[in-house]
């Protein structure tokens, strides 16, 4: 965080300073276990516990200032506020406003691909100046402000993931750090259960461009009709990206052709105007080309030469831990561990990748599937679709793990062409024993589920990760 006097922080968060007006230049933390000397600790009530219980731990670790919702009995300056969360957000807005002259803010949303696109932009932009982007998937009302607060006096690019669990969430984050460039990747069924349907998801996602000024830029996926709908609902200048060039493609549209994938990565030809460039990603999955197009569009908008941006993307070893992560254990199998997140769209994309790379390499394909969460009333129907897709794609073996994913097994079993090649087990331990007993060298194994299903550890186990 930029250096601030405690009195300035108190004014920014509309709180009352108790104690000395110290200068604070450390990080801002909401977890006392992460506090280091000179940091600010923001105590907030949470779903599991109350941060005020750990003020003493934070002070013992060297916190220079505490932001809290009631006076504390600790020998440390503290700012008393009505709401710790509101104070965190207000302080984040203050920091972004303070660095605005030298820092460009990029916001990213979408039902799928936010974290991968964020990582791609980090890889590109960090070669051209200090770049701050979220740790993991910090994209909610706490995580996004925490990312904003990491901006310093030398930060040139601030990349934000903006997620939502209800309408209005993204709008509130946009108000904290009005992006100079906003990206919308896709509107799908991820979290549709929380929103109450894909139409509400669409409205929620469009909040990232709805209130942008004319000086801002909206980078939109022209292949997704629900995203394209947003172009007429923003004052910002619109830039497009996609796989479908179309007859009316604008000169600044970044698009791709000749997309192909293998077990070693994904290739495409990138176009903008009359110029073309080859691109070969080490990241597995044709669907990641769309994320790359979004990142390249932003980079181009910010003045980074597209060949330089492509070179940065080609240097990436993986999208992120447990996201289409390729593992090659000594057993001779190939494991694609994609168990950090799952939606109907990302599940279908991962299964298509498995089918394609297995077919082109002549390997046996094995899909290990856990539950997709937050789908609401469509939970059973969407899992049923996955099971039928496995059959249509000709995947050789299906292992379904956990009660929440059982409709995947049931649907595949009902397809006569699949026969005995689908197995349902209740636990990861059962799945691990089964896979260790039946996998053969050369098999390509996809492990795919939502994070809460916990299959990331199963993927690591068969992938040889300690």
Which residue numbers belong to the known binding site for ATP? 110-116
Question: How many whole angstroms separate alpha carbon 232 and alpha carbon 37?
Answer: 49
Token pair 């050369």: residue: 442
Strand order in the sheet with 16-18: 16-18, 78-80, 65-68, 40-42, 28-29
Question: How many whole angstroms separate alpha carbon 450 and alpha carbon 191?
Answer: 11
CB contact at 8 A, 447 and 339: yes
Determine the 3-state secondary structure of 349 from DSSP: helix
Strand order in the sheet with 275-281: 130-132, 155-161, 104-109, 181-184, 217-221, 237-242, 254-262, 265-272, 275-281
Radius of gyration of the chain (CA): 24
Backbone torsions φ then ψ of 145, nearest 5 degrees: -60, -35
Backbone torsions φ then ψ of 196, nearest 5 degrees: 95, 25
Annotated binding site: 110-116
Q: How far from each other are the two terminal CA atoms of the chain, in whole angstroms?
A: 35
């Amino acid at each position: 965080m930029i250096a601030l006097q405690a009195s300035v922080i108190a004014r920014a968060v509309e709180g009352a300073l108790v104690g000395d007006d110290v200068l604070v230049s450390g990080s801002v933390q909401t977890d006392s276990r992460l506090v280091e000397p000179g940091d600010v600790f923001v105590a907030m009530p949470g779903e599991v516990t109350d941060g005020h219980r750990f003020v003493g731990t934070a002070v013992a670790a060297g916190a220079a200032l505490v932001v809290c919702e009631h006076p504390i009995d600790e020998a440390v300056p503290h700012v008393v506020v009505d709401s710790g969360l509101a104070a965190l957000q207000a302080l984040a807005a203050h920091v972004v406003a303070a660095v605005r002259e030298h820092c460009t803010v990029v916001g990213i949303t979408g039902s799928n691909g936010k974290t991968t696109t964020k990582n791609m932009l980090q890889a590109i932009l960090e070669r051209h100046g200090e770049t701050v982007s979220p740790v993991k998937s910090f994209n909610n009302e706490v995580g996004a402000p925490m990312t904003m607060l990491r901006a310093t006096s030398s930060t040139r690019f601030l990349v934000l993931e903006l997620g939502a669990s209800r309408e209005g969430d993204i709008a509130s984050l946009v108000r904290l750090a009005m992006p100079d460039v906003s990206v919308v990747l896709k509107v799908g069924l991820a979290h549709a259960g929380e929103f109450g349907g894909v139409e509400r998801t669409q409205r929620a996602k469009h909040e990232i461009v709805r209130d942008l000024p004319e000086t801002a830029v909206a980078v939109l996926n022209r292949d997704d009709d629900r995203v394209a709908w947003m172009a007429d609902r923003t004052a910002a200048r619109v830039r497009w990206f996609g796989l479908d060039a179309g007859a009316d493609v604008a000169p600044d549209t970044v698009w791709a052709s000749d997309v192909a994938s293998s077990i070693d990565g994904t290739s495409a030809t990138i176009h903008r105007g009359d110029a073309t460039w080859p691109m070969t990603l080490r990241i597995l999955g044709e669907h990641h080309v769309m994320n790359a197009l979004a990142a390249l569009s932003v980079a181009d908008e910010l003045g980074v030469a597209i060949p330089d941006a492509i070179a940065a993307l080609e240097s990436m070893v993986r999208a992120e831990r447990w996201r289409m992560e390729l593992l090659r254990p000594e057993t001779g199998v190939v494991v694609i561990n994609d168990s950090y997140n799952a939606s109907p769209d990302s599940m279908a994309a991962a299964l298509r990748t498995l089918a394609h790379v297995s077919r082109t390499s002549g390997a046996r394909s094995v899909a290990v599937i856990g539950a997709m969460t937050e789908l609401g009333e469509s939970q059973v129907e969407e899992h049923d679709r996955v099971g039928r897709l496995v059959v249509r794609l000709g995947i050789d073996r299906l292992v379904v793990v956990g009660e929440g994913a059982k409709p995947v097994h049931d649907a595949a079993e009902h397809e006569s062409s699949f026969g005995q090649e689908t197995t349902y087990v209740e636990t990861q331990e059962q799945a691990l024993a089964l896979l260790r007993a039946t996998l053969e060298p050369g098999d390509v194994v996809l492990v795919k589920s939502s994070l809460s299903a916990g299959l990331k550890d199963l993927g690591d186990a068969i992938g040889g990760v300690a």
